[in-house]
Structure formats: structure tokens, C-alpha cells
Amino acid sequence: MPTDENSSTISLNISKGIISTSSVHPTEISSHASPVSPQPRSAKYINHLFVTENRCRASLFVSTGKERLIHVVHYANKEEDLHTKDSRSDSDDKNYESVVVIFFIHGVGGTVQMWEPQIHYFLSQGYEIIGMDLLGHGQSSKPRDYAAYEFKELASDVEYVFDRFCKRRNVLIGHSYGSSFCTLLSKERRSKVCKTILISGGGPTMLMPDQCSAFCLPLPMFVCIRKSLVKMFQRLAFHEETSESIRQKIKTFEISSFALKAIMQGQNWYDSTEEYHSSLNVPVMLIYGKGDQFVTMDEEVWMKETIFGADLEVIEKAGHMVMLETPSQVNNIIHQFLNRDSSTWSKANNRPVPDESRPDEEPSDERPPARGPTVQSPAMSFLFNSRASLRSANGRSSRMSRSSLRKTML
């Protein structure tokens, strides 16, 4: 077996029984097969297994319904620990009790690749990793049906994947819109969820689609202004001091215009209230970039006050994409949170890791100043009104903030 991670590795196409060699980084997403190709309904998995020393990854496509193939990536330290079969019972899994599994769920426009800094780190610490591309994203299916992208449908996909790959001890990590699915799992699968980390998640308010934004336009018109919307998001998603090299590491909103419009208009989770969040009984960590232009500090503090015992960590000089802007600090915060008690200690590390980079400065409750040009033309009002819609997706705050519920729309 090769000892260098970047050297040639073994690629095993399990579905076809063909063995070939290829030079693949162990955390690179497989592109050898398309999940949207017609497949028999009985074939739930199309497997690509990449193995190097202490780095094993299985790229799987899981059928959760008609025209719904979800790309799931499973990382483990040993090949025999990977899920490469169509079925599995807990009694057959020798690591069911001992291994902690971390689930990563991205937000609108993201992919599993957004989590690479976290995947590398926590895999090296002895955790198993499950990442997925939500429907319409990455290598998952992209059906042309608006109803397929509603919150309840995406949540059903996430629940299916969680039920299939979870073990006795599981940790959920979600970013932006992905935090909503982590919250739902923490409530509905409470017996299996040990801890939850919500990154740039926003306040505990109902998710509801905006009724007056660019995402409400007919698809042909939306396609025409999509480029401007994406540029606006890319400008606002990062802290103003974040380097251009970091900004270019991830291509935001690389999904079809149809899927983007459908997802933004399918955010209709009306159970996501203060009462719902206050009933969570798992330890929760909130991580927030102080320069976030989509989620305010007030919303994060509101969430902290709503979830009993929740912790809030504020990172200076980071924006909405905090896990990409300051990966080492985010990893350290999460690892310290996991090491608070033995329920989420990894199999490799049976004792806490010392804190290496916790900032001395106390988090500030000051709301970050807004950036960007003022809307001066009615013709551009749809574009900048859509900033509130992006906040709905990325901040889970809906278009109505806590104060605006009593006053007026943003």
C-alpha cells in the first residue's frame, strides 16, 4: 500500500467489479461517474473506493426516492470501516459503539468540498466523517421539479443518509442553511445525536420564502440577473480582509439557476420557532464570524439565549464563510467542544487536546457594519432585496428579523 497520500492509489469500482489504478488525493471528490445517469432503482450505491495509508474514502450515491441520488462521501482510517454495501446492520459493525461519526451539511450553493479543512483535521484525530451534497448541488441529482427542493424533501434526504450511516455516537456540523437540517436532526434523532455545531446559522425564526425578491422572478428573467446575484454574494460572504486566494478556494453558487431558484423559494419550515429550538436537549455550539453580512450578532445571541446551555464563539476577521476563512480556529473550537466530555472523544484520542489558539479578546455584541453600495435605482431593487432572501437561506432568520416582526420588513 502506498505511504504517500499524493501517490498513486487504488480505485475500485465496486458496482462494476473493475479494479484500476489512478492518482487520486484521498479527499478529492470522485468524478468517475455521474449520479444523474439512469440507474436501476435497486442499485442504491455506485461506489468508488480510494485507499492510502490511514486515509480511506468511499464515494457513494444513495437513492432516497425517484430521481433523487444523493452523493455521500464516507471517510475512515481503515478500509474495512467504510460502508460499501447496500445494507448494514448495527450488529455487524464492530465499531458501532466506539467510533464517533461527524456529519457535515453545507448550505445553499455549497458542496461537501467546502468542508475539506475540517475533514482533513478530524479524520486525522480518529473520527469517521460523513459528508453529502444536498439535492441540486455537487454530484447529487438535479431534478427539474420545484417541489423536489422544498425543505421537507431535502430534510427527508438528510434523515435518510443519517439513519443509514449513523452509529451510537454522532456529531452534527452544519453551515448556514445546513444548520436547519442539523437542528431538525437534533430534535428528531435526539437519541443518536451527542452534540451539534451550528456555523453562521442565525436566529430561531421560521423559514419562509421571500415574496418580493429576484428569486420570485420567472426563470428566464432570473437567469439574466443570476450573474449579478452571485457576484453580490461572493463579495458579501467573506470578511473584507480575507485574501483573494482564500476566496477562490470555493466557487459559490455553482448550481443551476433552476435549482438555486427552487431552493430559495422552497425554504418553508414553519416549525422552526423559538419554542422548537428551546426544546433541544443536546449540547450546542454556535460559531459566528464577526464580519458576517448575512447573519447579525443579534440573531446569534438570540439563538444562544433560546437554546438552553448553548455556547457562542465569535471569530474576529471572519465573515459568513468562517470555516474557510479561519479553518484552524474553527477546528480548534469544535475539537475543544467535542473534548469536553468522553461522549465525543475520538477512538484515537482518549483525552482532551490542549487549547492552542483561543483568542484572549472577549466576543463583542456589536453588530458588524454593513458593506456594499446603496440601492439608488428601482431597476436594481430586486437584486439588493434579494440580499434579504440570501439572509433567509444563509441565516435561517427568514426575511423577518426579530425586531421587524414588531415593526416592518427589512
Which residue numbers are catalytic? 176, 292, 320
Q: Please, what's the b/e burial string for 23-38 (b: 16 or more CB within 10 A of its CB; e: otherwise)?
A: ebebbebbeebebeee
Interstrand relation of 128-132 and 68-76 (parallel, antiparallel or unpaired): antiparallel
Dist CA 128 CA 347 (whole Å):
9
Beta strands in 14-54 (DSSP E): 18-22, 48-52
**Helix, strand, coil percent values for the chain (each to nearest 5):** 35, 15, 50
> First and final CA of the chain: distance in angstroms?
58
Residues 6+ apart with CB under 8 A from 321: 200, 237, 238, 250, 289
Contact 144, 67 (CB under 8 A): no
Listed as own residue / partner, the contacts of 146-152 with beta carbons closer than 8 Å and 24 or more positions apart are 146/262, 146/265, 146/266, 147/266, 148/67, 148/68, 148/262, 149/259, 149/262, 149/263, 149/266, 150/266, 150/268, 151/180, 151/207, 151/266, 151/267, 151/268, 151/269, 152/268, 152/269
Interstrand relation of 311-315 and 169-175 (parallel, antiparallel or unpaired): unpaired
